Chain A
Amino acid sequence: MRRLLFIVRKEFIQIFRNKAILPLITLVPIIQLIVLSYAADNEVRNVQLAIVDQDHSAYSRLLISKIRASDRFILVDAGASVARAKEGMQLGEVDVVLSIPPQFEKDFLRYKSGEIQLLVDAINGQQATVGAGYLSAIIQSFSQEIREDAAPMLAVQKRAGPQIKLEHAYWFNEELNYKHFMAPGIMGELVTILVMLLTAMNIVREREVGTIEQINVTPIRKWQFILGKMIPFLIIGLLLLTIGLTAGKLLFDVPMRGNLIVVFAYCLVNLAAVLGLGLFISNLSDTQQQAMFTTFFFVIIFILMSGLFTPIESMPQWAQWLTVPNPIAHFVNVMRSVLLKGSSFSDVSYNFWVTGILAVVFNFAAVKSYRKVV
């Protein structure tokens, strides 16, 4: 036990001897939290829309003014030529083309139906489909309006029958504040990545410098060595989370509806898993460079498949299975559930369990792969 304390103390001295560490665990996370929370915004704005109005009627102008009223579109001038608008789409200057044919208003009044065409550039899928979605909603309400407006003029008086009107209520994030949604997930991701990288670089560094040989001829036990390396990073990880939560609260006023003890308890389990994986990578690598690249491989998969940016539910089934051993996916889920929904321990106990099992597996691998004897 005493031996362990000496190892932990030595690790701490070494970690903080490194001048890059302090900014790395304080400033960098805050900057990332700010940048990512603002930038990783799934809300679609700035859709480049070209409206080709060949009708120039009261109705077409009404529709255009309704679209203008929305702040999601940037109107691109394409004159009255669909061809020019298509050209713009080829050049990437236009995401969506809305074409109002000549006679639109006349047809509408005469035949009770008018046709409008939407051309969507599906290369940038999100921007285009979500943009087209917004546009459809606007057109829908426009259509409703002109129907009522034109009713007296229409040949057949058609009383509006019973209608279903959808009312949305957004729970847990009433204002659909994207920062509130992103920041907790990003905190979880940051803590995991930083700790994993620091750990992965650690043992391999001792191997590179040669100090590990000296350690190996001492009576230090494997578990003492591994635990001695883990404890400092565990503490740093918890510190990181504290800094992240404080920054999230101060900067974005992220709600904290659930019990923070659940968050910290989960963080502890998660760190145990990630540290084990980091040390395992470190044990298998010969150089710090190798360790870094291996870590990046995992980190990239972990992040992209964590549900942080794209919902896990919309991944194919096999990919959803792959997210089960992904510590970041669980962390993101726990952070969002507890902070935004106010989930209790029992609500996220699945995440606790899976991560706990991961921790056991990874650490077993770490201890096994650390060989004192060659």
Chain B
Amino acid sequence: MKNEYAIQAIDLTKKFGDFTAVDAISFDVEKGEIFGFLGANGAGKTTAIKMLIGLSKPSSGQATIAGYDVYSQTELIKEHIGYMSQKFSLYEDLTVLQNIRFYGGVYGLSRKRIKEKSAEIIERLNLEANARKVVADLPLGWKQRLAFAVASVHDPAIIFLDEPTGGVDPATRRQFWEMIYETASRGVTIFVTTHYMDEAEYCDRISIMVDGKIEALGKPGALKSQFEASHMEEVFLKLARG
């Protein structure tokens, strides 16, 4: 299945017993796009992401990630994507450099490349003074930017960010989004879930999930006029209330 899309999902479904967590969602994400994946808590966002990154087998439907099939090529998918989960998941008891080195090694980067990448990440995040500190001692905002940098250490084609900015202040969120833009400008596809509606406005296109279904999909501006709303928040509330 060759295509130009970074992500393509057709009727992707996940059932847990009688409960349908994700109900036949279909969407495409183009290469280099910043795609916002919105929805209320429990709408099925995380389940959908887990299917896309190969952590969870779909019950039915199809999807390709960077051209690889989510059923049969999950290990190949994993080599070409980066993922940053909701829950902070770098090793808190390793230093900044040790985390970068470990994930670089896991993704098969050469020793030389790991060195280059480490230097690059440290410089980009202004972590020079903290490079040898354990991650647990860094402020949350820094941890999250570091997690993002580590998730892209192997220069993946697509990066999945699951609520990357939960719990940080607006200034730090701003910095985080600058990183996202910078990464996207290098042609990397960004698939991001968020609760912050102002962040939704930063995306190229967004989808809004309600009870396992995608109820709205399009550019933020187009959605606002479609739902006759002045802010994304209004669009979201109209949909979420049904």
Contacts and interface: CB of A to CB of B under 8 A. Distances in A.
Contact of B98 (A7, A10, A211, A215): A10
Contacts of A216: 55
Contacts of B101: 6
Given A14-B94, A210-B87, A374-B50, A217 B55 contact: yes
A192 B185 CA distance: 54
A13 B99 CA distance: 11
B78 A218 contact: yes
Interface stretch (B102-110, B171-179, B211-219): B102-110
Q: Taking each of B50, B85, B106, B107, which has the highest tally of chain A beta carbons within 10 Å of its own beta carbon?
A: B106
B108 A3 contact: yes
Given A13-B94, A14-B94, A372 B102 contact: no
Contacts of A7: 102, 106
A354 B59 CA distance: 42
A219 interface: yes
B55 A373 contact: yes
Interface in A1-29: 2-3, 5-7, 9-10, 13-14, 17-18
B105 A6 contact: yes
B96 interface: no
Interface string A118-137: 00000000000000000000
A209 interface: yes
A209 B75 CA distance: 23
B56 interface: yes
Instruction: Classify chain A's interface size.
Output: 20 to 34
Nearest to A17: B93
Nearest to A372: B55
A209 B56 contact: no
Contacts of A144: none
Given A5-B105, A219-B78, A373-B57, A214 B89 contact: yes
Interface string A67-109: 0000000000000000000000000000000000000000000
B83 A217 contact: yes
Contacts of A219: 75, 78-79, 106-108
B27 interface: no
A218 B105 CA distance: 11
B13 interface: no
Nearest to A3: B106
Contacts of B196: none
A213 interface: yes
Contact of B102 (A6, A217, A221): A6
Interface in B82-135: 83, 85, 87-94, 98, 101-103, 105-108, 134
A40 interface: no
Contacts of A215: 106
Given A374-B55, A374-B56, A213 B102 contact: no
A209 B107 CA distance: 21
Residue in A209, A215, A216, A219 with the greatest tally of chain B CB atoms within 10 Å: A219
A210 B46 CA distance: 14
Given A219-B75, A373-B54, A214 B83 contact: yes
Contacts of A372: 54-55, 74
Contacts of A220: 106
B7 interface: no
Contacts of B134: 17
Contacts of A218: 78, 103, 106-107
Interface in A300-355: none
Nearest to B76: A219
A13 B56 CA distance: 31
Given A372-B55, A374-B56, A2 B108 contact: yes
Nearest to B74: A373
Interface string A14-58: 100110000000000000000000000000000000000000000
A292 B153 CA distance: 35
A217 B81 CA distance: 8
A217 B75 CA distance: 9
Contacts of A17: 93-94, 134
A14 B85 CA distance: 21
A10 B53 CA distance: 24
A136 B133 CA distance: 71
Contact of B91 (A2, A5, A14, A374): A14
Interface string A213-256: 11111111100000000000000000000000000000000000
B55 A213 contact: yes
Nearest to B111: A2
Nearest to A225: B106
B92 A209 contact: yes
Given A217-B55, A217-B83, A209 B105 contact: no
Contacts of B108: 2-3, 219
Interface in B52-75: 53-57, 74-75
Given A214-B90, A219-B79, 15 more contacts: A2-B105, A2-B108, A5-B105, A7-B102, A10-B98, A211-B91, A213-B85, A213-B87, A213-B89, A214-B89, A215-B106, A219-B106, A219-B107, A221-B75, A373-B74
Which A-B residue pairs are the 6 nearest by beta carbons? A6-B105, A210-B87, A214-B89, A217-B83, A219-B78, A210-B89
13 contacts: A3-B108, A13-B98, A17-B93, A17-B94, A209-B89, A213-B87, A214-B85, A217-B54, A217-B78, A217-B81, A219-B78, A372-B74, A373-B74
